[in-house]
Amino acid sequence: MTVNADPQELAKFGELAHRWWDQDGDFRPLHQLNPLRLGWIDQLVHLPGKRALDVGCGGGILAESMAQRGAEVLGIDLSTKPLKVAQLHALEAGVTNLRYREVAVEDLAAEAPTSFDVVTAMEMLEHVPDPASVVRACAALVKPGGWVFFSTINRNAKAWLLAIVGAEHVLKLLPKGTHEYQRFIRPSELTRFAREAGLMPDGFKGLEYNPLTQRFRLTDDTSVNYLLACRAPG
């Protein structure tokens, strides 16, 4: 059993688990941005028939959507209740090419290295004590020539203002206390983690929220919420 997890973070997501699939609830932002990240991943990876791993999958919003696009998906998390919700939702939706496991990504990397065509770790690195360790484990799990995707929140004044003050306190898009500023990760830091893990950073996308239209869009501006695509050599 690994120690690279914060029990308070896992408990926080456990308490919210029953509302995971409520499109208008606490996870509304994830529901809204999911088609954008799914589209970007599918465009680069071509999901049908691919083996995909979703790290920190929570209630399974991305994992289930990748399975519905035709990938063979394993979702992992260390919070029990979101995994149960994910499993139940897949059952109800009749999605069979999708499994869930409560296992640390570092342990899975030791158990099944170079097993996946695509590995995703979305909106989870900023909840983990040692994000570089997660990046290394993802790099070990991907097959040569495969893809690894990360998303997280940048650390600067604008990100603090929009992702914490704006999203949690003004617009109330997320429950208060969802994010801690000190855990946010700069694109330069994520790039370094990826390179040190042997991955080749391939491209960034920014995720921008428009409070007037209440919609997200993919941009080239990584100043707040952003995604990074990496390739594994080979």
Of all helices (H) and strands (E), which one includes residue 119?
strand 116-122
Task: Assess contact for 52 and 121: CB atoms under 8 A.
Answer: no
Binder to ligand SAH among 42, 64, 123, 208 (CB under 6 A)? Answer: 123
In sequence order, the 6+-apart residues with CB closer than 8 A to the CB of 160 are: 181, 184
Q: Write the secondary structure of 32-56 as one string of H (helix), E (strand) and C (coil).
A: HHHHHHHHHHHHHHCCCCCEEEEEC
Q: Which stretch binds ligand SAH (CB under 6 A): 41-49, 72-80, 194-202, 210-218?
A: 72-80
Q: Which stretch binds ligand SAH (CB under 6 A): 91-99, 124-132, 165-173, 209-217?
A: 124-132
Binder to ligand SAH among 50, 69, 89, 127 (CB under 6 A)? Answer: 127
**Helical segments of 147-212, H only:** 157-159, 187-196
CB of 1 or CB of 212, closer to ligand SAH: 1
Q: How far is the CB of 123 from ligand SAH (least distance, A)?
A: 4
3-state secondary structure of 91: helix
Binder to ligand SAH among 119, 128, 141, 185 (CB under 6 A)? Answer: 128
CB of 105 or CB of 162, closer to ligand SAH: 105
Task: Check binding of 10 to ligand SAH (CB under 6 A).
Answer: yes
Half-sphere exposure of 208 (CA within 13 A, CB side): 12
Task: Check binding of 58 to ligand SAH (CB under 6 A).
Answer: yes
Task: Report phi then psi at 39, rounded to 5.
Answer: -60, -40
Q: Provide the binding-site residues for ligand SAH, judged by CB under 6 A.
A: 4-5, 9-10, 13, 30, 56-58, 61-62, 77-79, 82, 122-124, 127-128
